[in-house]
């Protein structure tokens, strides 16, 4: 059951019970969830490849929502949001801006993970006045090292997951060490804490469109990131094989007002593996 848009969300909400709301974006219904305080600049969460609302780690959402208003949404054609998923990062960014404007916000913070980090960079370049602060996690710049290989890496680990009866993220997001495997099991278990009113899985056409967008982003000419003057926190694991960790180092070097955090013995999902440390750092950064 989807609840229609309400004017506020109570700070007592937890991610596992937060109602799924609907907002009209260009004549189509898009879904989102809101939790945390009713006031202050909201933190808009932008999701990764093949991910709808229920692919966010509850510890990260709840942790940041203890101090900040958090809004998580399905972009066009993703999960229960209507429309057709566009095959470019730039079009996805314009969709995210339309969503933010539909909710009536003049300024937001962005937390972009992986594909969401690509989208966040475009928003910051095209709509700088809309953005206050940015967190870029497990992501990289246009034309970044290895980003054009995300499709082959993803498909390989999807096959591996099918053969071993494990979710692909068990392999894609975490290292193969004992610590990494333990973190993977715990993360995937947390994703099932919400048992009612779960979102629709990402469709095959939407997944293919996202892969096309990521591939094109990986082949683009590098953008002039020196024009992004917002404060930026760049975070990743030190062994990311989806968006190689060197991209995070590159982002932090090229962004004029950036800070870099790399988590040890962690992969693409480093901010989920080290969720306590990441939430603490993210909140400090957002409130600085």
The C-alpha angle with vertex 177 and arms to 172 and 182, in degrees rounded to 5, equals 75
114: left (phi over 0), alpha (psi -120 to 50) or beta: left
- Give residue limits of the domains in the chain: 21-287
Give 275: exposed, middle or buried? Use CB within 10 Å, 0-12, 13-18, 19+.
Answer: buried
Q: Classify each residue of 81-120 as buried b or exposed e, where b means 16 or more C-beta atoms within 10 Å of its C-beta.
A: bbbebbbebbbbbbbbbebbebbeeeebbbbbbbbbbbbb
CATH class of 21-287: alpha beta
Task: Render each residue's pLDDT in the chain as its tens digit; 288 residues.
Answer: 344 333 333 445 899 999 999 999 999 999 999 999 999 999 999 999 999 999 999 999 999 999 999 999 999 999 999 999 999 999 999 999 999 999 999 999 999 999 999 999 999 999 999 999 999 999 999 999 999 999 999 999 999 999 999 999 999 999 999 999 999 999 999 999 999 999 999 999 999 999 999 999 999 999 999 999 999 999 999 999 999 999 999 999 999 999 999 999 999 999 999 999 999 999 999 999
Quote the CA–CA distance of 147 and 141 in Å, as a whole number.
9
Residue 12 has a pLDDT of 58
The C-alpha angle with vertex 6 and arms to 4 and 11, in degrees rounded to 5, equals 125
Quote the CA–CA distance of 276 and 60 in Å, as a whole number.
8
pTM: 0.95
> At 145, is the secondary structure helix, strand, or coil?
coil
């Amino acid at each position: 059951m989807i609840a229609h848009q309400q004017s506020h969300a109570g700070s007592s909400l937890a991610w596992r019970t937060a109602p799924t709301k609907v907002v009209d974006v260009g004549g189509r219904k898009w879904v989102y969830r809101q939790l945390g305080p009713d006031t202050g600049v909201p933190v808009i969460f932008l999701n990764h490849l093949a991910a709808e609302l229920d692919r966010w780690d509850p510890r990260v959402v709840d942790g940041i929502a203890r101090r900040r208003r958090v809004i998580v949404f399905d972009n066009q054609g993703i999960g229960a949001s209507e429309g057709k998923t566009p095959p470019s990062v730039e079009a996805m960014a314009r969709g995210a801006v339309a969503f933010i404007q539909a909710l009536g916000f003049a300024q937001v913070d962005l937390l972009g993970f992986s594909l969401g980090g690509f989208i966040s960079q475009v928003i910051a370049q095209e709509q700088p006045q809309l953005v206050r602060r940015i967190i870029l996690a497990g992501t990289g710049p246009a034309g970044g090292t290895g980003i054009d290989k995300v499709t082959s890496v993803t498909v390989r680990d999807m096959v591996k997951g099918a053969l071993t009866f494990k979710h692909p993220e068990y392999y894609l997001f975490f290292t193969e060490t004992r610590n990494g495997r333990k973190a993977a099991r715990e993360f995937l278990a947390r994703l099932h804490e919400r048992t009612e009113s779960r979102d629709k899985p990402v469709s095959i056409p939407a997944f293919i469109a996202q892969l096309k967008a990521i591939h094109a982003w990986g082949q683009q000419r590098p953008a002039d990131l020196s024009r992004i003057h917002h404060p930026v926190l760049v975070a990743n694991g030190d062994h990311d094989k989806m968006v190689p960790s060197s991209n995070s180092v590159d982002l932090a070097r090229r962004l004029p007002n950036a800070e870099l955090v790399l988590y040890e013995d962690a992969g693409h999902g480093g901010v989920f593996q080290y969720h306590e440390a990441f939430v603490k750092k993210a909140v400090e950064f957002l409130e600085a």
